[in-house]
Amino acid sequence: MKTVLITGFEPFAGAAINPSLEAVQQLEGREISGGIIRTAIVPVVHQKSIDAVLKAIDEIKPDIVLLIGQAAGRTGITPERIAINIDDFRIPDNDSIQVIDEPVIEDGPAAYFASLPIKAMVKAMGEAGVVSSISNTAGTFVCNHLFYGVMHALRETAVKAGFIHIPLIPAQNITGEQASMPLECIVRGLEICAATALSIEDDVVIVGGQIA
């Protein structure tokens, strides 16, 4: 049986909730077609985030790695296409570290593309009624930092990996003016992503681009 490692971040920036953590806690041990889901919690801290995931990979030895983080303002689940080699933290992380205009990996390539079938994942989620789309930017905070660092570490392995941003959940939408998605819908979407990553070798060729 194959294994999918799904990671979620702890809360950050003074928040009490991070939907990626809430979703991951519901997915631990869940069996899907062709595999089982294992999970890990990630600190929202510069290098510690990468170290935590690489430790989990070493212990669990997964076939697939899905890194999950929240993206306030997004209306759907958004698999990321690319990680870039830059840290430019708009706010400090949970250890009060604020890295500005520094590479994630010194002398690393400019970017890494996700090795997941991200368009097939979006297609499968859409067919299940889960709002989703391709994202072409993972930002420049800890999400992108982790995405790039893990892809760099796995670059010569057979492990497929990538990052998925999810919306806020209703409990975080205090003002009623922010986009959100029910937690159960997020959990369902991530389960679909995991199952798709296990079953699809070559991504589908469908439109997923943006003009700007």
- The residues facing 64 across adjacent strands are 4, 160
CA separation (Å) from 194 to 93, 98, 173? 28, 32, 27
In single-letter form, the type of residue at position 56 comes to A
Which position among 165, 185, 191, 193 bears the catalytic label?
165
Catalytic site includes residue 10: no
Could you give the CA distance from residue 11 to residue 40 in angstroms, rounded to a whole number?
14
Catalytic site includes residue 185: no
Which position among 22, 46, 143, 191 bears the catalytic label?
143
Question: Strand, helix or coil at 24?
Answer: helix
Catalytic site includes residue 46: no
- The residues facing 9 across adjacent strands are 42
At 43, which helix (H) or strand (E)? none
Which position among 22, 46, 80, 191 bears the catalytic label?
80
Could you give the CA distance from residue 104 to residue 83 in angstroms, rounded to a whole number?
10
CA separation (Å) from 165 to 81, 114, 210? 11, 13, 17
The residues annotated as belonging to the active site are 80, 143, 165
